[in-house]
Structure 1
Amino acid sequence: MNTIVDTYLRTWNTTDAAARAELLTQHWVEDACYVDPLAEVAGRDGIGAAIEAVQAQFPGFVFSRVGEPDSHHNQTRFQWGLGPEGAEPVVIGFDVVVTNDEGRIASVHGFLDKVPA
Structure 2
Amino acid sequence: MEDFRRLAENYIATWNEKDADVRRKRIQELWAEDGEYVFPQAVLSGHDAILAGVTDAFGHYGAKGLTFRLRDDAAPDANHNAVRFGWELVNPENDEVSMAGVDFIIVDKQGRIRSDYQFFDVVPV
> Which category describes the TM-score, using the shorter chain as reference length?
over 0.9
1 CA distance for matches of 2:57 and 2:28? Answer: 20
Determine which structure has the larger strand proportion and give its number. 1
1 CA distance for matches of 2:27 and 2:82? Answer: 18
Determine which structure has the larger helix proportion and give its number. 2
Cα RMSD, aligned residues only:
1.2
Query: C-alpha displacement at 1:22, in angstroms?
Result: 0.8
* Partner SS for 1:6: helix
1:76 counterpart residue number = 83
2:104 counterpart residue number = 96
1:13 counterpart residue number = 16
* Partner SS for 1:116: coil
1:62 counterpart residue number = 67
1 CA distance for matches of 2:40 and 2:21? Answer: 27
- Letter in structure 1 aligned against 2:22: A
Sequence identity, in percent? 33
1:105 counterpart residue number = 113
TM-score by length of 2: 0.87
Aligned residue pairs, count: 117
* Structure 2: stretches of 5+ with no match in the other structure: none
1:52 counterpart residue number = 55
Deviations 1:25-78 (A, max 9, x none): 222111110011123111111111001111122232111000211110111011
